[in-house]
Amino acid sequence: MNLKRLFYTILITGSVLSCAIAEKGHNIEVKVTGLQDTISMLAYHFGNRQYIQDTVRIDQDGRFRFQGEERLDPGMYMIVLPDQKYFEVIVDHNQHFRIETEMDNFINTMKFENSQDNEIFYDYMRLIGRENEVIGPARAELQDPSTTPERQAELRSKLAEADAKVKSLQDEIINQSPDGLFARILMAQKEPPMPEAPLKEDGTPDNDYMYQVYKRNFWNNIDFSDDRILRTPVFHAKLNQFFTRVLMQIPDSIIVEADRLVEKSRAHPEMFKYVVFFVTNTFERSQIMGMDAVFVHMVEDYYMTGEADWVTPEQLERISERAMALKPLLIGKIAPDITMFAPDRKPLSLHDVDARFTVLYFWDSECSHCKRQTPLMKKFYEKLHPKGVEIFAANTEADRNKWLDYIKANGLEWIHVNDPVNSSGFRDKYDIWATPLIFLLDEDKRIIAKRITVEQAEEIINRELTN
């Protein structure tokens, strides 16, 4: 190799290395006209929450910069400005770019240098803005009763045209850059394609078949090996839609679908972690009766087996204890037996009650909510006791005399028991943290319903008696 060629080789190699070094870390330069001498924050989405990544000072010309030696996790970021104003940018593989915009109109004045992803993103946003100017008034006019059929047809045509423009641009973006983050976001938001509904024997559409197809294909547009989608609002929204609106709210059905989704999520550790956390957390907090079965399943199958390796030993102990406290109280389980003491101090056991339905009623004579529920319970008992309903009223207070005085004063004639020193362990067995607390049991003492009101107990019993 001659000296001249060697010089060029060194020069080219040096240039490549310089570019590689320059592209390490992140460097996002911003200029916002109409803004000066204040603070800006760089925040990112994670699930349905937002977290602050960095805070910088804005100079008198509206210029500021977010930079660092470490690369940012790819995702949808927010540049937050005073007065709760912000705009979003995509941070993907390229993390060195410039932004210019104006304070009074972010979207329409937005310009990027060295960020094709964001140029595409804002072109799309501008199209959405233009089409919304058509869609909003058209929908409002369609809802007006005075709109003529001819005009309604025109408006529907306008709406279809606007929708077609948006879908066309979405498809173009997805086809041109299928691996880009914004393309992945658009794909994730697309509904799965549906076939024409087959007809049942009576000639009506088979909606159950269509539901099964929709449910089966719901996740087709998510690449579970790509965790970038976690740092956008899209994946969390789809999880929420699937588990609260798509699936029937039946614990066994949800458990089956949760396990299927967890298996899909194993394609990436962060996706697995988020799906397991989401399902567990959602059904621990669910207000729908019986959904604690999903929580218990998730804890037993993923936390107590050691797969949820992100939790600390202390967190694992707490969540495991909670699941094990709830497990004996799941719908369909035989209610834990408790032996407490009648007014004559004789022991009485819950499982010895011979009745078609047993209402297990934990109460306190001084509890304000109990004072409202107990008179209703008395009317309930008078109506349904002749039909095979018994009440096992477990008083939770320590003062025996107050308990007995209340029973006598109010003429309460069902089974009464009390355990002032909690020798039966009733508080732990039934997860009692407030009163009143009502469980409804069948003749085998299986739990039919729990944490319900007197009115709900009556409704359930009447329905069971009718069936």
pLDDT at 9: 43
The answer on pLDDT for 10 being more than 80 is no
Contact in structure between 107 and 126 (CB atoms under 8 Å):
yes
Q: What is the dihedral of CA 386, 389, 395, 400, to 10 degrees?
A: 30
pLDDT at 15: 42
Cis peptide before 149 (omega within 30 of 0): no
Q: Determine contact, residues 418/400, Cβ cutoff 8 Å.
A: yes
On the question of pLDDT at 5 being above 70, the answer is: no
Q: What percent of the chain has pLDDT over 70?
A: 95
Q: How far apart are CA 189 and CA 192, in angstroms?
A: 9
* Phi, psi at 155, each rounded to 5°: -65, -40
- Report whether pLDDT(28) > 60: yes
Per-residue model confidence as pLDDT tens digits over 251-290? 999 999 999 999 999 999 999 999 999 999 999 999 999 9
pLDDT surpasses 70 at 117 = yes
In the chain, what are the domain boundaries? Answer: 25-114, 122-189, 215-329, 339-466
Q: Report the CATH number of the 339-466 domain.
A: 3.40.30.10
Asked if pLDDT for residue 227 goes beyond 70, the answer is yes
C-alpha distances in angstroms, 146 versus 142, 150, 402? 9, 11, 68
Mean pLDDT across the stretch 198-216?
94
pLDDT at position 152: 93
Query: Is 0.85 topped by the overall pTM?
Result: yes
**Segment 54-59 mean pLDDT:** 97
Residue 7, SS3 per DSSP: helix
Q: What is the pLDDT of residue 21?
A: 41
In whole angstroms, give the CA distance from residue 374 to residue 188.
51
Handedness of CA 227, 228, 230, 231 (dihedral sign): positive
Which CATH class, in words, describes the domain spanning 25-114?
A: mainly beta
| CA–CA distance, 253 with 300 (Å, rounded to integer) | 17
Q: Is the pLDDT of residue 416 over 90?
A: yes
If pLDDT is split at 50, 70 and 90, which confidence band does 1 have? very low
Distance CA 185, CA 172 (A): 14
Calculate the average pLDDT of the chain.
Answer: 93
Instruction: Say if CB 243 and CB 237 are below 8 A apart.
Output: no
158 vs 22, more confident: 158
